[in-house]
Structures are given as C-alpha cells and as structure tokens.
Amino acid sequence: MANNHLTDKTYLRDLNFKDEYYLVTLCQHLWEFIKNAPIPIYTSIFKNKNDQVFIKLSIGDKAFTYEVDTDISYFDFIYRFKLASFRFYPQFEFEEEIEVELDTEEMLEKVATTDISLNDVVFLTKKILVKQQGFIHKVMLSKDEFLFEYNGKKYIRTSLIADRIEDVLPVKQFLQNVRNMYYDQIEGIIIKDYIFNNSKIISELPDVENDVTIDYKKSMMLNFFKIHYNELKDVELTKEMDLVHRWGKFRIVFEDSLIEDDCIKYYRTRRQQNIKSFN
C-alpha cells in the first residue's frame, strides 16, 4: 500500500539516518497528516550520495522535496507539508450579491434626504457583494465526515444524508466529486452548492484559537521563525517578560538571550525588507 514505508521501522532504520528516533517519529506524524488529508498524497524517502535523507511529497503531477533536518521540529515539518499541499485542497472562492438591511446611519440619511418616514425606512435594503470562501481541510473516512471551513467558521459535516441506503454517498466519493470540480475549474458557486446540497452539518467548532507554547532549543527556534514568518509577517512580535515573547497565537519561550537575540534580529531584518519592498 502507498505510504506504508512511513510506518515501516525496519525500512527507516536501514536508511541509517543519524537520529533514527527523530526520523521514525517524523514519519509517524506525516502518516497521520496524510491519512486525514482530503487529497491523495504519496511519499518517498531516499538518501543521496552524501547520505542526506529526503522526503518527497507527490500530489498529482507536482512534487515537493524536503531534507530531513533534526533542527526542525515535527510541528514545523508538518506545517511545511501543509503549506505545500493546501493549494490542492478542494476549495472555492467567489463574490455573491446579497440584499441586506440599511444600517442606522444609512436609515437616518434616507429620512433626512428623502420623503421616506422612519416607519418605512426600516424595510429598505441594499445590495452588496460578499466574498464566499470554503475549504475542506480534513477527512475522517471511518465516519464519512469532513472538516469544512466556510467564511472563517469551521464545521464537521457528513455526506451521509440520503434516506435510502442505496442512495448514500460515502465521503470518499463525495470528495472525489468535489476535487474533480475544483481541478476542472468549475465556478465556485457550483462547488459550494454541491457541498451544501450533498452534505449536512454535524457540529460547529468553537471559534477559539488556543495558545501554542514554543520552547525549542537553539537552531530549532530560529528555524521556527524562518518557517512561520510569512504566515505571521503582519503580526507584531511583543515582549511579555524576560525571554518570553508573543507572536500571534504563539507564546515563545527562549532558552537564553543569545538565541532570543538571533531570532529577534531575523524578525526585524525580514520586517525591514518587507517595508522596503512595499515602498
């Protein structure tokens, strides 16, 4: 079966990587990520002539290769894999015209500049363009469920909505249909309608972003800054106390002032580069 080598400890051991535990654990995390991804992802692991070990991700005809580096945390490695694969996830984006009520300011302006009364103005509406965005992030095949983000809110949905067993649409086939529409560049509104018409909400997930504590050692901490900078480039890095900083949802605890200085220097250099390129 594809990707079985990720959990084959004998195969991984035979690669003679300098830190066998790190490689085995990284591949276990990668296996968990791949089995829940809403797209087929295939991997290969190989060594080059310099005995460096690489992991290659293949998605359709696209391939992404990463050197296994013990100075990168498991969390950050999987984040890199997600960045590479996310653009291929089933998704849609389009603008839709909808009617909404006037806000209080607009109502008062209408009353002041027209013959409409206060009693009638509350029934007026206006048309606005609203961006509609949806992403399928994760699939739970055993439950025929998937994690769906729609306009910033996350839901667990299922494709099992038919009354008759012979009409049931397993989530695997449902996802294949959505992927085909996305890859064929079908209009976003059609993809949205297919998802909403062929699945239902099981639950809405709480809109809460939990803090993540990052307390890596030395080079691993600097790599965290390098890997996550683009995601957080518009977020200020603020000091909470000695050796502790806040960067978005991340609470960063430095081992010592040396690595703290290196990371802050990298952060400030990148910010300055962004300002220059913007100007």
pLDDT digits (tens, 9 = 90+) for 136-194: 999 999 999 999 999 999 999 999 887 766 667 899 999 999 999 998 888 899 999 99
Q: Edge-to-edge, what's the strand order for the sheet holding 250-253?
A: 212-214, 250-253, 244-247, 237-241
Overall average pLDDT of the 125-135 stretch: 92
**Is residue 33 helix, strand or coil?**
helix
Question: Environment class of residue 139 by beta-carbon count within 10 Å: exposed (0-12), middle (13-18) or buried (19+)?
Answer: buried
Using alpha carbons, select from 97, 98, 95 the residue that is nearest to residue 187.
95
Check: CB of residue 82 under 8 Å from CB of residue 30. no
Mean pLDDT value across the chain: 92
Distance (Å, whole) CA 253 – CA 238: 12
Using alpha carbons, select from 76, 80, 26 the residue that is nearest to residue 53.
26
Check: CB of residue 177 under 8 Å from CB of residue 89. no
Model confidence at 273, in pLDDT bands (50, 70, 90)? confident
Using alpha carbons, select from 191, 176, 173, 201 the residue that is nearest to residue 133.
191
Distance (Å, whole) CA 94 – CA 91: 11
Ordered by start, the domain boundaries in the chain are 4-86, 91-204, 212-278
Model confidence at 49, in pLDDT bands (50, 70, 90)? confident
Percentage of the chain modeled with pLDDT above 70: 96
pLDDT, tens only, 228-264: 999 999 999 999 999 999 999 999 999 999 999 999 9
DSSP H or E stretch at residue 81? helix 74-86
- pLDDT for the residue numbered 277: 63
Phi, psi torsion values for 126, nearest 5 degrees: -140, 160
